[in-house]
């Protein structure tokens, strides 16, 4: 086995884990890093802040609690009750109790003992104190760092006696950064320009070009849509479509314009409450109308309304605070200092929306719920007004026709089959006719007379209603927030909406900095507080998610949880530095993105050495760049872009690219609406995956591993299963892209064709071995298609676009088959 | 270069010993590493989590027969002989007190009792009473434990199904099948360990959808989510090769792809590349193993006959029941059949007879088929539903054709059969109106705990760390119902 050459035997201690142990052994016990995690995992469940569940009136999550009842006596481990309890063999005394499914390791016991021996120092949870800018450390090699990020990374590597990896090739870098910032592979011309640019800022120029690209916002919107549980339908039984895509376009636009993150926050949470709120600011609040909306028959509206409220609290807490607060719905949080009162005080901010918890029918297809904002274009508005006017005119004319007809009946100019109607009409001028009798006349007229009138008012009404209905299918009424219905909010016993307890008012959790006295006590106050300078979490949570986008894993791996049970970050100083950098520079998101992707840390190769694998398998020290599989959305975008099929139009209503037949109908067993998949034609088949219609009950078939878009999701998974291979090998999307890719290279010299295709996908030329393998592959495919030209025709017929008839089908098919292989290379499906 | 993901993770796991101080700072927590280690073996043989099963399991696998829409316990399983005499009389207030009803009947002023649609009869040696609409399930009564004391808080379908199958009414938690495959791995060589198949009554009378979160993996790795075999088109998404590319061509392509990937692995050293090569090979195998699974032509006629007349109709409940047996034979850990159409708010007599006709024989046939192969000894078959139905009628009592029953979760029935189950028994009891549980309440979480127990899992110890806490199927509740166990 190879070990890092420079380290020799010392390397054994240099596994990251080993070094931590070394740190503790050498005496520097850090309460937050070494002790609290043990107590939190094993003790806080019963001895934490949830008073109703607390055993023996003992709490260990506060300094007072630890000092009480001789639980912890500084300097005297043997007299400290917790040490006695964890060492005893008596099952009645033993802690944690044998039936608790929790147990301490010998090392953990020893650590606790040493902590007490050393005086049992205590401090608060790191993430709950506002970050201050840490000093940039000095490095062993002063020349490697390009910016402060690198100095933190290098300092940590120094302490483990590890070294950063070399810088990646220009080809690797441009593919990596273009995918990361725009979600698309670089164009060959962009690669050429970068390779030709010998200036020291060549890479920075690329980065600046990408940050200014309109596709940047499309790429960066993806994680935000996951967090916002955005979908194009409500979920549940009828799963009615919505118009929330207008908000999706707002997100893309705001990201492209680099809207400062504090504004981005405030407008989405409370844009409607800003003074003189604009239409766009009201639209932004669609953020919290993206939740599931249950339209099932029989559901209890008020119960559903509380489901919406709980969802808003959970999403807000996870997305901005990195806290899981759902536990506090029923009881005080077991680990984090969040009380049930805190939970409902936060919920109160969302409880004034004039909504009833269910979805209403707009058209057969669309189900939506007030409050809504009309986001139609002027043309649509004009069209709607004209249609409504015409409809009303037709209705008026029908009424007039009825009057005329009644007159004719009375004068005997019109024979009425039904004598009872004639009788009624004869009484007609007198006001005594009842409502029912009038209705009877109207109905008779409508059914028997109106249809055959020369002026066709009935038909006109029908036609115009149909047109109006069709218009409504496309007439964006976006669900947004409003505080138009003030309600009292109560703590709910065990989260049960039927058992309200004490009344609460809008407030922020008690353990965090409080709302300033002048702050409005409403959603706006809460939103502004989330991005207040003193508030310790938001900036950290956000830079951590940025890091996750560019480095595969967050600095805090549990990017959804920064609470006491979260992972104590190895790179806390780096995280804090980045958070301060963001917060104190006007929440300038692109600035921090630029810092990250221009760092030396980012520019390393992703090669995995045996020793790195052994010492740091998860790459937590960033001694190399990460390699990870591209999200399925980007796999599709890459295939479309590399093959030249991609249509780069930005924004607009969702599209319906290829999906196997019956995905929607086989899910839907209802006949209440037509669930036929309205597959797009032409350009809409080739739009970016961001615009694919997202049916909440059944995600797009080829976007595997995608977030479920049901709850707030801030961490994606990239798994590797045979089902994914089936998708990228057999889905018409990829087969058609392979053919289009082959078509683009058929004008090249024969021996260059596959190399050019290879480069369009991977941004680099194949080496000699790869060239030989590609040629071998082409030979095999060629032989097969030559023997069976019909198969070639069939293979080339996959997809809606037509093959180029000028090209020899056998040659083209063979090249297309190899291109399908290229699109499926590990390197192609990975970002490295 | 030959470092496989497994050995690599083995090393990582060994490193954990060193990392045990403070535990979680640097390396993935144990569950994540174990999940990865196991997940990499998707479909490739038995790989349980460390320490699992917790004790000797009675069942190696489970087949879930899901009766979607809310199957009527009053009509089928919970025999209340007194109801006939009380026909159309009002259900006493004292019985009704406190039960939460759906908004469809919550406003009712009277609650006329509706006796079962057909008489009950005693089946088997054990004499368990079930409706005469269930002759085939009844014929296996001596292998079944009927549970008449189920209880759920859910009043509506989607929350009710999610509650039963994921332990939470709100979508997003791992499903029972995902927990089981995560914990126990799978014995299927080239098929998924957790398979879901759906079907519906032909008339598509009731409007429930089959949501993906009913078989989701929630926050545990997505490899453990159920793989849905579809009733039409490709049984597994994108299973068929593209037009014009035959098996041999695909084989050639994969060989070349493999060589190119191995070349890259040599340069980059990332064991993930090795995993990817393996998954592509597995996908190729699945392209024959799945069609082979679906090819029921070689099943002898007497076996096909067990499942009734619809057995050859792909996508039917009967076909899915037969496939369930074939998957069980091939080692899948959890096979989840979901059949919908039980939501009988109206036209009750018509729908109830249709539904029992479509499901009784295939369900009973599956039990018989498993039994005659000796597989009922290590296979657990459970029949469940999201809730039962009200003993009082929904609709107008003067219009018998339109009778129905509303959702009802305070007491209802399910059953279990096979491995580890007390055969020929009845568990739990309700009052004379099938309205309140009076003995051995079986709450959803108790039910989940009991199913896990039969598979050798202590439900309190199978946890997954997410968002700073340990999650489990049964939340913080659940007691194993000992009375159900053999």
Q: List, as ranges, residues 338-377 from B with C-beta within 8 Å of A.
A: 340-341
Contact predicate A52/A62, CB 8 Å? no
- The tokens for A762 are 């991977």
Which pLDDT score, from 0 to 100, does residue B204 have?
62
* Distance, CA of B53 to CA of B348 (rounded, Å): 44
Paired sense of beta strands B388-389 and B407-408, if any: antiparallel
Reply yes or no on whether the pLDDT at A16 is more than 90: no
Closest chain B C-alpha to A673 CA, distance in angstroms: 10
pLDDT confidence of residue A670: 58
Q: For position B6, what pLDDT does the model report?
A: 30
Query: What are the pLDDT digits (tens) for A460-518?
Result: 999 999 999 999 999 999 999 999 999 999 999 888 898 999 999 999 999 999 999 99
- Among residues B224, B232, B169, the alpha carbon closest in space to that of B200 is found at B232
Pairing status of strand B379-384 against strand B61-68: parallel
Q: Indicate whether A184 pLDDT > 90.
A: yes
Q: Which residues lie below 8 Å from residue A781, measured CB to CB, with a gap of 6+?
A: A813, A814, A815, A817, A818, B249, B252, B253
Least confident of A208-222, A313-327, A416-430, A777-791: A416-430
Chain A residues with beta carbon closer than 8 angstroms to that of B157:
237, 296
pLDDT for B22: 28
| Of B28, B210, B216, Cβ closest to residue A667 | B210
Residue B41 has a pLDDT of 37
Q: How near does any CA of chain B get to the CA of A694, in Å?
A: 13
CB pairs under 8 A between A and B: 334
Alpha-carbon radius of gyration of chain A? 33
Nearest-Cα distance to chain B for A726, in Å, is 6
**Per the CB < 8 Å rule, is B250 touching A729?**
yes
Nearest CA in chain B to A817: B253
pLDDT band at A572 (very low <50, low <70, confident <90, very high): very high
d(CA A388, CA A535): 51
Please name the member of A236, A567, A660 whose beta carbon is closest to the beta carbon of B237: A660
Is B25 in the A-facing interface, judged by CB distances under 8 Å?
Answer: yes
Contact A825 B275 (CB under 8 A): no
Which among A24, A710, A791 has CB closest to B21? A24
pLDDT of residue A26: 46
Residue A680 has pLDDT above 60, yes or no: yes
Poorest-pLDDT segment among A174-188, A286-300, B163-177: A286-300
Per mean pLDDT, which range of A230-239, A588-597, A646-655, B282-291 is the poorest?
A230-239
3-state secondary structure A338-384: CCHHHHHHHHHHHCCCCCCCCCEECCCCEEECCCEEECCCHHHHHHH
Chain B interface disruption, residue of A498, A616, A730, most B CBs within 10 A = A730
Cβ(A217)–Cβ(A252) below 8 Å = yes
The predicted pLDDT at position B206 comes to 54
CA of B230: which chain A residue's CA is closest?
Answer: A666
The pTM score is: 0.82
Residue A428: which pLDDT band, with cuts at 50, 70 and 90?
low
Is A181 in contact with A211 (CB distance < 8 Å)?
A: yes
pLDDT of residue B44: 34
Contacting residues of A for B16, CB less than 8 Å apart:
17
B234 touches A: beta carbon within 8 Å: yes
Sort out which chain A residues have CB atoms less than 8 A from B461's CB and list them: 101
pLDDT score, position B14 = 30
Which A residues 235-264 touch B at CB under 8 Å? 235-239
Selected residue with higher pLDDT from A620 and A737: A737
Residue whose pair of structure tokens reads 């098919």 in the numeric block: A813
Cross-chain Cβ contact A708/B213 below 8 Å: yes
Say whether pLDDT at A589 is over 90. yes
What mean pLDDT is reported for chain A? 90
Q: What are the pLDDT digits (tens) for B157-197?
A: 888 999 999 999 877 899 999 999 999 998 888 898 999 99
Q: What is the mean pLDDT of residues A25-46?
A: 78
What integer pLDDT is reported at residue A683 of this predicted model? 97
Mark out the alpha helices in A98-229 (DSSP H runs).
Answer: 106-117, 148-159, 170-182, 188-196, 202-211, 214-227
- The predicted structure's pLDDT at residue A798: 98
Interface test with B, best of A720, A728, A732 (most B CBs within 10 A): A720
Better pLDDT: B468 or B58: B58
Amino acid A537: pLDDT: 98
Tell me, what's the pLDDT at A429? 59
Q: What is the pLDDT of residues B373-418, one digit of tens each?
A: 999 999 999 999 999 999 999 887 788 878 899 999 999 999 999 9
pLDDT number for residue A431: 60
Query: Which has more pLDDT, A11 or A829?
Result: A829
- Among A36, A494, A723, the strongest candidate for a mutation testing the B interface, having the largest count of B CBs within 10 A, is A723
Average the pLDDT over A10-37 and give the result: 55
Half-sphere exposure of A330 (CA within 13 A, CB side): 7
pLDDT of residue A592: 98
pLDDT tens per residue, range A381-417: 999 999 999 999 999 999 898 888 887 877 777 766 6
Q: Which pair of tokens denotes residue A603?
A: 């520019």
Q: Choose among B242, B282, B461: nearest Cβ to A735.
A: B242
Q: Does B273 touch chain A (CB under 8 A)?
A: yes
pLDDT at B20: 29
Number of residues that make up chain A:
832
From residue A120, how far is each of A29, A42, A66, A129, A517 by CA, in Å? 9, 18, 9, 20, 37
Residues B77 and B442 sit within 8 Å (Cβ to Cβ): no
Whether the per-residue pLDDT at A49 is higher than 80: the answer is: no
CA nearest to B277, candidates B290, B292, B265, B291: B265
The pLDDT of residue A808: 97
Range 100-119 of B in CB contact (< 8 A) with A = 100, 102-104, 106
Once rounded to an integer, what is the mean pLDDT over residues B142-148? 98
The mean pLDDT of A640-669, rounded to a whole number, is 89
Share of chain B above pLDDT 90, in %: 65
pLDDT band at A445 (very low <50, low <70, confident <90, very high): confident
User: What is the DSSP pairing of strand A628-629 with strand A830-831?
Assistant: antiparallel
Query: Is A232 at the interface with chain B, CB within 8 A?
Result: no
Long-range contacts of the stretch B104-112 (C-beta < 8 A, 24+): B104/A297, B104/A298, B104/B345, B104/B394, B104/B406, B104/B407, B105/B390, B105/B392, B105/B394, B105/B406, B106/A300, B108/B392, B111/B390, B111/B392, B112/B88, B112/B392, B112/B393, B112/B397
Give residue-wise pLDDT tens across range B224-268: 888 889 888 889 999 999 999 999 999 999 999 999 999 999 999
Mean pLDDT is lowest, of A145-154, A561-570, A633-642, B299-308, for A561-570
Q: Average of pLDDT values for A559-572?
A: 87
Q: Are strands B194-200 and B227-229 parallel, antiparallel or unpaired?
A: parallel
**pLDDT of amino acid A41:** 82
pLDDT of B207 above 70:
no
Q: Does the CB of B85 have a partner CB in chain A at under 8 Å?
A: no
Indicate yes or no: CB of B155 within 8 angstroms of CB of A773. Answer: no
Q: 3-state DSSP call for residue A683?
A: helix
Which pLDDT belongs to residue A140?
Answer: 93
Q: Tell me, what's the pLDDT at A667?
A: 61
Contact by Cβ (8 Å): A639, A731: no
Asked if residue A685 has pLDDT above 50, the reply is: yes
pLDDT of residue B35 exceeding 70, the answer is no
Percentage, residues of chain A above pLDDT 90: 63
Question: Which residue, chain included where needed, has tokens 């890259």?
Answer: B264
Best B242, B259, B457, B472 member to test A by mutation, with max A CBs in 10 Å, is: B242
Per-residue burial over B293-317, b if 16 or more Cβ lie within 10 Å, else e, is: beebeebeeebbebbbebbeebbbb
Residues of A with Cβ-Cβ distance to B21 under 8 angstroms: 20-21, 24, 34, 107-108, 111
Cα angle B358, B360, B364 (rounded to 5 degrees) comes to: 135
Percent of chain A with pLDDT over 70: 95
pLDDT-derived band at B49 (thresholds 50, 70, 90) equals: confident
Q: In whole angstroms, how large is the CA radius of gyration of chain B?
A: 24
At residue B279 the predicted structure's pLDDT band, cuts being 50, 70 and 90, is confident
Q: Which of A117-126, A306-315, B63-72 has the lowest mean pLDDT?
A: A117-126
Q: Which of B42, B189, B260 to mutate to test the interface with A (most CBs of A within 10 A)?
A: B260
Q: Quick one: pLDDT band at residue B1, thresholds 50, 70, 90?
A: very low
- Is residue B82 very low, low, confident or very high in pLDDT (cuts 50, 70, 90)? very high
Closest-CA residue of A relative to B260 is A770
Residue A25 has pLDDT above 50, yes or no: no
Alpha carbon of A518: minimum distance to chain B alpha carbons (Å): 34
Pairing of strands B425-427, B144-151: parallel
Residue A103's pLDDT is what?
A: 81
**Most A CBs within 10 Å, among B6, B22, B232, B406, to test the A interface:** B22
pLDDT-derived band at A595 (thresholds 50, 70, 90) equals: very high
Q: What is the structure's pLDDT at A4? A: 34
Query: Average pLDDT in the A180-207 region?
Result: 98
Res. A662: pLDDT tops 90: no
* Strand boundaries in A414-544, DSSP class E: 477-479, 489-492, 500-504
Task: List Cβ neighbours of B263 (8 Å cut-off, separation of 6 or more).
Answer: A769, A770, A773
Q: Report how far residue A395's alpha carbon sits from residue B7's, in angstroms, rounded to the nearest whole number.
A: 77
Lowest mean pLDDT among A159-168, A242-251, B66-75, B221-230: B221-230
How many helices and strands, by DSSP H and E, does chain A display? 35, 8
- Please name the residues between 691 and 720 in chain A that touch chain B, using a CB distance below 8 Å: 697-699, 701-702, 704-705, 708, 710-711, 717, 719-720
Other CB atoms within 10 Å distance of the CB of residue A77: 20
Phi, psi of A50 (to 5 degrees): -75, 100
Burial (Cβ within 10 Å: 0-12, 13-18, ≥19) of residue A494: exposed
pLDDT given for residue B36 in this prediction: 38
Residue B424 has a pLDDT of 97
B21 touches chain A (CB under 8 A): yes
Compute the distance between CA of residue A507 and CA of residue A347 in angstroms, rounded to an integer. 9
pLDDT of residue A623: 95
Q: What is the structure's pLDDT at A416? A: 67
pLDDT digits (tens, 9 = 90+) for A708-727: 788 888 887 777 778 899 99
Q: Which residues 106-165 in chain A show a CB within 8 A of chain B?
A: 107-108, 111
Instruction: Name which residue leads in pLDDT, A15 or A818.
Output: A818
More confident residue, A696 or A320: A320
Q: What is the pLDDT of residue A438?
A: 80
What pLDDT score was predicted for residue A23? Answer: 42
pLDDT (tens digit per residue) in A84-106: 888 888 888 888 888 777 788 88
pLDDT-based confidence at A378, cuts 50/70/90?
Answer: very high
Task: Determine, for residues A662 and B233 on separate chains, whether the beta-carbon distance falls below 8 Å.
Answer: yes
């Amino acid at each position: 086995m190879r070990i890092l050459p420079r380290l020799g035997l010392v390397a054994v201690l240099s596994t990251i884990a080993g070094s931590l142990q070394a740190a503790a052994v050498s005496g520097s016990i850090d309460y937050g890093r070494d002790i609290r995690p043990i107590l939190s995992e094993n003790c806080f469940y019963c001895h934490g802040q949830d008073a109703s569940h607390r055993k023996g009136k003992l709490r260990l999550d506060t300094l007072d609690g630890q000092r009480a009842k001789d639980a912890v006596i500084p300097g005297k481990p043997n007299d400290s009750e917790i040490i006695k309890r964890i060492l005893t063999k008596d099952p009645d005394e033993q802690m944690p109790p044998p039936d608790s499914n929790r147990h301490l390791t010998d090392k953990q016991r020893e650590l606790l003992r040493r902590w007490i021996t050393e005086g049992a120092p205590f401090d608060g949870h790191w993430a709950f104190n506002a970050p201050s800018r840490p000093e940039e450390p000095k490095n062993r090699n002063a020349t490697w760092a390009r910016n402060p990020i690198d100095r933190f990374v290098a300092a940590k590597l120094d302490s483990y006696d590890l070294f950063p990896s070399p810088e990646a090739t220009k080809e690797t870098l441009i593919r990596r950064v273009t995918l990361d910032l725009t979600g698309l592979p670089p164009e060959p011309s962009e690669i050429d320009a970068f390779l030709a640019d010998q200036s020291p800022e060549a890479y920075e120029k690329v980065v600046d070009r990408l940050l200014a690209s309109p596709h940047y916002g499309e790429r960066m919107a993806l994680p935000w849509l996951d967090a916002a549980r955005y979908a194009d339908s409500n979920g549940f039984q009828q799963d009615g479509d919505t118009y929330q895509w207008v908000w999706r376009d707002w997100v893309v636009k705001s990201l492209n314009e680099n809207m400062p993150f504090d504004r981005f926050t405030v407008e989405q949470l409370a844009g409607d409450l800003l003074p003189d709120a604009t239409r766009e600011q009201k639209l932004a609040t669609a953020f919290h109308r993206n939740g599931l909306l249950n339209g099932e028959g029989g559901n209890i509206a008020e119960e559903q309304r509380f489901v919406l409220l709980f969802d808003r609290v959970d999403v807000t807490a996870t997305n901005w605070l990195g806290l899981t607060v759902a536990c506090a719905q029923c009881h005080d949080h077991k680990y984090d200092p969040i009380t049930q009162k805190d939970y409902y005080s936060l919920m109160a901010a969302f409880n004034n929306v004039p909504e009833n918890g269910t979805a209403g029918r707009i058209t057969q297809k669309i189900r939506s719920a007030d409050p809504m904002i009309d986001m139609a274009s002027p043309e649509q508005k004009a069209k709607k007004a004209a249609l409504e006017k015409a409809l009303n005119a037709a209705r008026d004319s029908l009424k007039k026709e009825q009057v005329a007809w009644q007159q004719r009946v009375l004068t005997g100019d019109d024979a009425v089959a039904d004598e009872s109607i004639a009788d009624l009409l004869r009484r007609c001028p007198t006001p005594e006719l009842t409502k029912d009798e009038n209705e009877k006349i109207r109905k008779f007229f409508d059914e028997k007379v109106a249809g055959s009138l020369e002026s066709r008012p009935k038909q006109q009404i029908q036609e115009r209603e149909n047109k109006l209905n069709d218009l409504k299918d496309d007439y964006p009424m976006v669900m947004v927030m409003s505080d138009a219905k003030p309600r009292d909010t109560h703590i709910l016993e065990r989260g049960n909406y039927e058992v309200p307890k004490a009344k609460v008012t809008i407030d922020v959790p008690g353990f965090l900095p409080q709302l300033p006295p002048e702050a409005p006590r409403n959603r706006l106050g809460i939103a502004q507080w989330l991005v207040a300078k003193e508030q310790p979490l938001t900036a950290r949570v956000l830079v951590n998610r940025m890091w996750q986008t560019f480095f595969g894993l967050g600095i805090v791996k549990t990017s959804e949880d920064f609470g006491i049970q979260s992972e104590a970050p190895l790179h806390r100083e780096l995280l804090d530095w980045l958070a301060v950098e963001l917060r104190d520079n006007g929440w300038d998101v692109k600035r921090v993105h630029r810092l990250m992707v221009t760092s030396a840390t980012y520019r390393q190769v992703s090669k995995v050495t045996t020793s790195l694998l052994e010492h740091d398998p998860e790459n937590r020290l960033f001694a190399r760049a990460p390699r990870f599989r591209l999200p399925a959305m980007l796999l599709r975008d890459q295939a479309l872009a590399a093959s030249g099929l991609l249509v780069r139009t930005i924004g607009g209503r969702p599209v319906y690219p290829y999906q196997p037949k019956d995905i929607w109908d086989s899910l839907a067993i209802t006949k209440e609406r037509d669930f036929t998949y309205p597959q797009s034609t032409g350009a809409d088949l080739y739009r970016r995956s961001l615009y694919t219609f997202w049916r909440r009950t059944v995600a797009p078939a080829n976007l595997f591993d995608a977030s479920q878009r049901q709850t707030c999701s801030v961490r994606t998974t990239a798994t590797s299963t045979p089902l994914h291979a089936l998708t990228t090998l057999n889905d018409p999307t990829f087969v058609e892209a392979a053919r289009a890719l082959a078509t683009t290279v058929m004008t090249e010299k024969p021996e260059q064709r596959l190399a050019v295709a290879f480069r369009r996908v991977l941004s680099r030329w194949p080496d000699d071995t790869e060239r030989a393998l590609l040629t071998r592959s082409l030979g095999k495919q060629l032989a097969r298609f030559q023997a069976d030209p019909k198969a070639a025709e069939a293979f080339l017929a996959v997809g809606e676009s037509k093959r180029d008839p000028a090209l020899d089908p056998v040659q083209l098919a063979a090249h297309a088959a190899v291109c399908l292989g290229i699109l499926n290379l590990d390197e192609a499906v990975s970002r490295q | 270069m030959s470092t496989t993901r497994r050995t690599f993770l083995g090393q990582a796991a060994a490193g954990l010993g060193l990392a045990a101080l403070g535990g979680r700072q640097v390396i993935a927590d144990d569950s994540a590493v174990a999940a990865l280690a196991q997940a990499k073996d998707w479909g490739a043989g038995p790989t349980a989590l460390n320490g699992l099963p917790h004790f000797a399991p009675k069942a190696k696998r489970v087949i879930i027969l899901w009766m979607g829409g809310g199957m009527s316990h009053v009509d089928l399983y919970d025999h209340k002989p007194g109801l006939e005499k009380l026909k159309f009389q009002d259900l006493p207030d004292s019985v009704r007190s406190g039960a939460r009803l759906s908004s469809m009947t919550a406003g009712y002023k009277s609650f006329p009792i509706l006796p079962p649609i057909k008489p009950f009869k005693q089946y088997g040696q054990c004499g368990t009473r079930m409706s005469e609409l269930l002759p085939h399930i009844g014929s296996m009564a001596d292998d079944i434990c009927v549970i008449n004391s189920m209880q759920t808080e859910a009043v509506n379908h989607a929350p009710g199904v999610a509650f039963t199958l994921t332990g939470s009414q709100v979508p997003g938690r791992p499903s029972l099948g995902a927990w089981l495959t995560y914990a126990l791995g799978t014995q299927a060589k080239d098929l998924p360990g957790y398979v879901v198949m759906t079907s519906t009554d032909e008339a598509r009378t009731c409007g429930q959808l089959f949501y993906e979160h009913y078989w989701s993996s929630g926050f545990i790795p997505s490899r453990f989510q159920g793989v849905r075999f579809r009733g039409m088109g490709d049984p597994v998404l994108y299973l068929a090769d593209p037009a014009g590319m035959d098996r041999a061509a695909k084989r050639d392509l994969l060989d070349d792809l493999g060589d190119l990937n191995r070349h890259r692995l040599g340069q980059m050293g990332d064991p993930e590349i090795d995993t990817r090569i393996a998954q592509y090979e597995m996908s190729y195998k699945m392209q024959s193993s799945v069609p082979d699974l679906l090819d029921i032509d070689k099943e002898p006629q007497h076996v096909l006959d067990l499942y009734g007349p619809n057995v050859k109709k792909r996508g039917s409940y009967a076909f899915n029941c037969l496939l369930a047996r074939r998957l069980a034979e091939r080692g899948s850990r959890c096979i989840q059949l979901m059949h919908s159409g039980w939501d009988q708010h109206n036209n009750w007599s018509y729908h109830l007879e249709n539904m029992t006709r479509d499901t009784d024989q295939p369900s009973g046939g599956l039990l018989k088929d498993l039994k005659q192969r000796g597989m009922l000894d290590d296979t657990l078959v459970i029949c469940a539903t999201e809730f039962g139905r009200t003993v009082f009628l929904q609709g107008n009592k003067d219009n018998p054709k339109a009778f129905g029953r509303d959702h009802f979760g305070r007491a209802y029935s399910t059953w279990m059969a096979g491995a580890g189950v007390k055969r020929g028994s009845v568990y739990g009891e309700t009052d004379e109106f099938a309205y309140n549980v009076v003995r051995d309440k079986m709450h959803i979480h108790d039910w989940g705990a009991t199913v896990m127990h039969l598979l050798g899992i202590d439900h309190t110890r199978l946890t997954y760390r997410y968002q700073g806490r340990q999650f489990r199927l049964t939340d913080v509740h659940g007691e194993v119902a000992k009375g159900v166990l053999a």
